[in-house]
Structure 1
Amino acid sequence: MLILITLFVLGFLLGMTGAGGAGVVIAVLTAAFGVPIHLALGTSLSAMTFTTLSGAVSHFREGNVRIRTGAAVGVFGAAGAFTGAKIAAMIPAADLHWFTGGMMLLSMALMYLRLYHPQSGPFAYVGTTELEGGSRFWLTAVPAGFVVGCLSGTFGIGATPFIQLVLLILFGLPLPVAIGTTMMVILPIAVFGGLGYLLEGNLDFTLFIQVVAGLMTGAYIGAKFTRRIPRKVLKVVMTIIPGIGALVLFLE
């Protein structure tokens, strides 16, 4: 019950600010409740199947999803996520804490650049011509999907900033469409990444149900308060959330 209540509060905050928060879920499960890191990664990744589903459907209805691009990157991302789950099982728990924390810091840096300096860093190379088909499309989708999926599967995170970078730079999608298509890409990654963790014995269904129930309920209610938060506050919270998760993992 304590886990359920804690994840409800966390889901409320994430829903209110629009932040992803997969890293914070991992940090909370390991530091506050003593859940082994591999089990926390599998649970967090699997839970994203449900926490991103509603977002993907909503973006699809708004016309912010490129079905072909999302399906292509998502399918190969699923293969990468399944592989990543196998890789994570071979990494000692102590090392996985540091690796996952490092990925969260990198995610924070990318989120900062996207929100505060969209014309600098890697975002300065955002494509202007959308890549829609042909051999170049598939030569891009296969390795890009596999890499972002492998990152997500290995470290149990959504890899949202990395997927958005791929869609913005390599596929030339407009930002609103890149955000919506990212939701679609994450779905197969979460499903097959979770399956990989399940086959490795790193997924507990009771904990999984508690996490999903708490996050989804809290996020649904929290989203109703989003318009009451100043935009500057939202940007700050979205930027620092991955850093908080990384700090907790480093100190744990």
Structure 2
Amino acid sequence: MTGLAPTLVGAVLIGVSLGLLGGGGSILAVPLLAYVAGLPTREAIATSLLVVGVTSAVAVLPHARAHRVRWRTGLTFGLAGMAGAYVGGRLAAFVPPALLLTGFAVMMLATATAMIRGRRSAEGRPAPRELPLARVLLDGVAVGLVTGLVGAGGGFLVVPALALLGGLPMPVAVGTSLVVIAMKSFAGLAGYLSGVSVDWGLAVAVTVSAVVGSLLGGRLAGRVPADLLRAAFGWFVLVLGFVVLAQQVPAGWRSAPLLWAALAVAAAAIVVAAGVGPTRSRWRRPSPRGRRS
């Protein structure tokens, strides 16, 4: 349990992220458990699924009280996601740890880019009473598979899917996503437990810290502009993603100038893609006339 105190502090930040943004827990949990707590890769992913699952289940309560949860949609998406997450957790036993973390880093970069650019809100458009079931099931399985395999792809994949596919208002999409995240995380954990042992003492301590953070994040949610927080968090995840990716480079390749030049070009391309586009306009309130997409 080396680095226990920094691990618990990081767990509080994980909870704050879930409470504020409805996602981001697994993006932080895996690097925290792997690099700060010193857990092996598969054990870090399994523990992160437990932490994020319990924390999401607690964080959904204030959203439910405020009627910001679409239960039918969340349960349908969540059941499909559970199936995908369980399969992903079982498949992870056959994937080399370095490849798992590389896939996780790529997921971090893609997620960070989406967070920085922002997402089109469904505000102003009528939300359909029933979502297309086939699409919900397909997206749920796909997102769940990613979650179970690399321990990522929770709220920052589920929220856009619910907002864009179902036309749900962003606050409702965030609240509903927490139901989905909890369901998928527990299913992914079940898949991992077939071949991975968990340090339950550490897992419980980290989970309790994350739950405390989620309650704090929930209290701050109405006081801090969510778009500014999302962008700042996105840049942080972008840097962290490159750090995780660099850790996976074989030792013999780390002195190759061409490799680092290629990584620098890739980083510049992602920064440009994240920093340009209609980000500002997405953060503004819609005009009275509305916008045509």
TM-score (norm 2): 0.73
CA distance in 2, matches of 1:225, 1:187: 21
User: Is the CA contact (8 Å cut-off) linking 2:50 and 2:185 kept in structure 1?
Assistant: yes
The structure-2 alpha-carbon separation of the partners of 1:231 and 1:127, relative to structure 1 and needing over 3 Å to count, comes to closer
The structure-2 alpha-carbon separation of the partners of 1:206 and 1:46, relative to structure 1 and needing over 3 Å to count, comes to same
Runs of 5+ in structure 2 lacking a partner?
Answer: 248-293
User: Is the CA contact (8 Å cut-off) linking 1:4 and 1:213 kept in structure 2?
Assistant: no
CA distance in 2, matches of 1:47, 1:32: 15
Per-residue deviation, 1:106 = 0.7
User: Is the CA contact (8 Å cut-off) linking 1:81 and 1:154 kept in structure 2?
Assistant: yes
Runs of 5+ in structure 1 lacking a partner?
Answer: none
In structure 2, the partner of 1:199 is: 194
In structure 1, the partner of 2:86 is: 82
The structure-2 alpha-carbon separation of the partners of 1:223 and 1:130, relative to structure 1 and needing over 3 Å to count, comes to closer
Per-residue deviation, 1:166 = 1.2
| CA deviation string 1:98-150 (max 9, x = no partner) | 11000011111111122xxx44xxx7x999453433xx732122111111111
Whether 2:149 is the aligned partner of 1:149: answer no
CA distance in 2, matches of 1:197, 1:231: 33
CA distance in 2, matches of 1:230, 1:169: 21
Q: Which has more radius of gyration?
A: 2
CA distance in 2, matches of 1:2, 1:99: 26
CA distance in 2, matches of 1:235, 1:170: 21
Identity %: 28
In structure 2, the partner of 1:166 is: 161
Cα root mean square deviation, aligned: 2.8
Per-residue deviation, 1:176 = 1.1
Q: Which moved more, 1:207-216 or 1:58-67?
A: 207-216
Whether 2:221 is the aligned partner of 1:217: answer no
The structure-2 alpha-carbon separation of the partners of 1:157 and 1:238, relative to structure 1 and needing over 3 Å to count, comes to same
In structure 2, the partner of 1:130 is: 127
SS across alignment from 1:52: helix
Q: Which moved more, 1:63-72 or 1:212-221?
A: 212-221
| CA deviation string 1:176-235 (max 9, x = no partner) | 111111111111101111111111225332332132123223444566667786778634
